[in-house]
Amino acid sequence: MSSADGGRVRPGFRHGGGTVKGFVHKDQFPRPNLNDSLEGEIQAFLTDEDQLHTYDDLTKVNPVTPTTVLKCLQARYNARVFYTHAGCTLVALNPFQPIPDLYSVDVMKEYHCAPQPQELKPHIFIVAEEAYRNVQGQLEPVNQSLVVSGESGAGKTWTSRCLMKYYATVAASSSVVKSQDIVGRIERRVLDSNPIMEAFGNACTLRNNNSSRFGKYIQLQLDRSQLLVGASVQTYLLEKTRVACQPANERNFHIYYQMIKGATDEQRKDWKMPCGQHFVWLPNAEKTVEEDCFHETVEAMVHLGINAERQREIFRILAGILQLGNVNFSPSTDESQPYFLQRAAELFSIPTEELQLALRVRTLKAGKQSVLKPCSQTECSMRRDCLAKVIYAQLFEWLVAFINNSICADKSMWCNFIGILDVYGFECFQLNNLEQLCINYANEKLQQHFVAHYLRAQQEEYVSEGLQWSFVKYQDNQSCLDLIEGSTVSVFSLLNEESRLNRASDCKMFRVRLEKELCDNVNISWDKFSKVPHFTVAHYAGKVNYQIQGMVEKNKDPVPPELNSLLQKSDNSLLHQIFTDKETDNMTSKGLSKVTVVSKFKNSLESLMKILHTTTPHYTRCIKPNHDCKPLTFKKEEVIMQLEACGIVETIHISAAGFPIRIPFTSFLQRYGLIAKYSNFQSESDCASKYTLSLCPFMDKFVLTLLAFVSQLDLLEDQRNKILSQCAFVIQCCWLRYQRRRRQARRKSATLIQAAVRSWLVRKQVQRWNRAATVIQDTWRKWKALLKSLAEAELDDAKDLEEENVPELNPVIRERGSVQLSTLQEPVTVRGWPMGLALASAPSITVSLTATGFQKMMSVMASLNLPSRRGEYKVEPNQYTQGLASIRAQPKGSVKLHYQRSPLLYADRQPDLKSEVTGFNEILLEKTL
């Protein structure tokens, strides 16, 4: 089936489906008296009142009547259950007191992680999660809108705040490490935009302590991973008249009371606001509300990037507006008059004389000449109020633009959005003017969107598809919209014509014209006996009387050019900037028709409705249990009026009798075709024509099988999730196998590289060792050769031996290797050494030494200590006591040494420096063998 909602998944599923016959239309039962006894089915249903609070979905109520719906809501409210499903709509009752742990982070995670959030208790987080999953599931249209509606004080602002906190929590990037420097995170900046806009745009009224005096549509921008990357804010019709005119028992905007109660002494001195000073434009300053938190507003400004100097300029402008409100105009001289005017001029950083002149004198242009005309007391007050309103309105627009620049992401970074609409609720006061007319017109547009999107579109779809359906009547507010904004003749068109006339407005003449042009419309009426000109409009939520006095002037919204020129000369850089930019905008639109307040508001509201029509809407109806804002107080008369006004009963009728699941055929095939293995579509345009014939037998059998189950969509989603899980498992296996193979290849490559590097290092080390060994060997050989040369140089030459007349040795002595000594005059000690011979203290001695068997003989002699034959000489080994003397040294006496083989070749002992040998040059010989 095709559908206007593009396949939206409904939050509350009921048992069964198909059509329900014989239910009662709205026009067939009058509104019952709540005090009368209940009869028939109603009485049977309400018999067990203890179980009424268990109906978490009002489509389960049988029969569906205003009384049964009201009783169920009252029972749930008394049980402190404040959310209830009503088909496609969530009904939220305002408890008017904080409820612990109802909106905590743990509760957010519980609804976000639940496989089927609809199975949990009704909550605003179910609506938020449904929209978020629609974006994840790419259900057409992908973009979502959360429409929060209700009258003033029903809890719309609080609900919108909870929705933003939810998305800032669940749509935040889990990969981002939460550090102390959290200022730059987009989630924090998006949440910080709320305190600033509420401080500058909300006020305490008779019906609500935190009433939004402007409308806003916040687009939460999501990337392809459904992560929050930015946001943008669009505002509608700020009630700037509240700056200079506050209704009885109401307050000005929150920011002024925050400044009075939270400023330091230094700030008060800078703002010229001493303690105890009374301000005309700050009524009910003694009343304290929860929103009077100056520190929170300043902290939000810091997080959004508004530095201290810019904050000082903002607060000085606000203080100047308050001082301007104390300025009175009278013919007599007032000493306090220049005092407040001077303070205002100083805070605005403009000359006092020029400010006074701009307020008191009007410049008229007659051709090329300018004429100065003094203003009356009333005109001066109007110019003062106009100055205050235009400054505050421009400052508010600058704040919104600054917030958007701070939190808005580039178009390339996001692809989808979830919009949260929070507009002023339906208002009806004793005195209603242009502001209330625009506010109620906006609520009419939202109600019409709900009617066209759900109440009308669903039933027309059932009829067009040939389903058996009994049409449910509902209250259509299209005639009221035609009265207000009609293209031919309407209240807005007549008001714009009156505003564009270059003349003073006459409220009585305007009333006469309204009666003449709009007398055929049943939604407008007049009290002919009333002395105050007014007209009454029958809105969907009730009748409202609008005062005509001052409506035309407010629609013109004139700003004297003298005031604009004066503010452009301000030394306050912010004030100079915003009014210079405004003058630039006026220059670009020069030559166009003058834009009135209602024209501008109508155009902006129409652009909003175009956005809503391209998104999947989710409705939340906020109900105000009592008009006194008392905690846990439920007044049936007031609640039943709201239920009937917003069409809750009709919504329940259609949801209970209709089909809760409606998905276009092409979208159904694209989403669930993979179950039957027919998901490979070439394109969405030709999928129906290509596969309709082949799938018809399967789809008929499949649909008939599914009708036997309670929740068809749950079965489809579960089966689809199983198939997707299997596909994801296969992909994971392939990916893990690929990664494992890749790791093994890398490990093998790393092993080869490591082995090659190690072998190269070993080769280099061995080469270094070989070069070092070669150097050591060469050095050692050179050293050996040097020692050898030194030893050879110490030996006697053969020529010296030939010159000496040495007697021949006895053969026996030669053979035995003995020593033959000549006769000495005195006893001489002869010491033998295996490697050499030392003689000391000998006068003229001749020693003959044979080399035959020298080594053997010297070894024997080294081990003996023999006396001489005659007892005059002895032979002792001298390895450890004596050294070896040079044979070329000249002793005191004449010594001759003859040998056949040099003993120095076998020397391996260091000569003793303490030797008794004197007169010889001692040398050190190292081992040469």
Q: Which residues are catalytic?
A: 152-153, 157, 208, 211-212, 425, 427
Q: Cβ of 483: how many Cβ atoms within 10 Å?
A: 23
Q: In whole angstroms, how large is the CA radius of gyration of the chain? A: 55
Q: By the 8 A CB rule, do 221 and 232 touch?
A: yes
Give CA–CA dist 345/327, Å, rounded. Answer: 11
Q: Which residues pair with 435 in a beta bridge?
A: none
152 known member of a binding site: yes
Contact status, residue 216 vs residue 397, Cβ threshold 8 Å: no
Please tell me whether 155 is known to bind a ligand: yes
Residues 6+ apart with CB under 8 A from 483: 490, 491, 518, 521, 523, 524, 537
d(CA 46, CA 553): 54
Take residue 50 and report the two structure tokens written for it.
């203890």
> What is the DSSP secondary-structure string of 569-633?
T-SSHHHHHHHHHHHHHHHHTTTSPPPPHHHHHHHHHHHHHHHHHTSEEEEEEEE-S-TT--TT-
**417: number of CA atoms within 13 Å, CB side?**
23
The residue type at 410: D
Answer whether 245's CB lies under 8 Å from 236's CB. no
Helix axes 308-325, 377-407, angle to 10 degrees: 160
Please report, as a single letter, which amino acid is at residue 725.
S
CA dihedral of 301, 305, 309, 310, whole degrees rounded to 10: -70
- Helix then strand count (H, E) for the chain reads 30, 21
φ, ψ at 360 (rounded to 5°): -100, -25
Q: Tell me if 156 is assigned to a ligand binding site.
A: yes
Tell how far CA 27 is from the center of its chain: 51
Q: Is 150 annotated as a binding residue?
A: yes
CA separation for the pair 375, 256 (Å, rounded): 30
In angstroms, the CA 216 to CA 234 distance is 5
Beta bridge partners of 830: 839, 875
Q: Measured between alpha carbons, how far is residue 223 from residues 136, 411, 434 in Å?
A: 11, 10, 41
Collapse the DSSP code of 874 into the 3-class scheme (helix H, G, I; strand E, B; otherwise coil) and give the result.
strand
- 30 cis-preceded (ω within 30 degrees of 0): no
The count of other CB atoms within 10 Å of the CB of residue 2 is 14
Strand, helix or coil for residue 706: helix
HSE-up of residue 529 (Cα within 13 Å, Cβ side): 0
Query: Is residue 367 marked as binding?
Result: no
Q: Which are the contacts of 247, defined by CB distance < 8 A and separation ≥ 6?
A: 205, 206, 429, 431
Query: Are 319 and 271 spatial neighbours (Cβ–Cβ below 8 Å)?
Result: yes
Rounded distance between C-alpha atoms, residue 67 and residue 596, angstroms: 45
Phi, psi of 844 (to 5 degrees): -110, 105
Question: Binding site for ATP: residue ranges?
Answer: 150-157
Question: Binding site: residue ranges?
Answer: 150-157
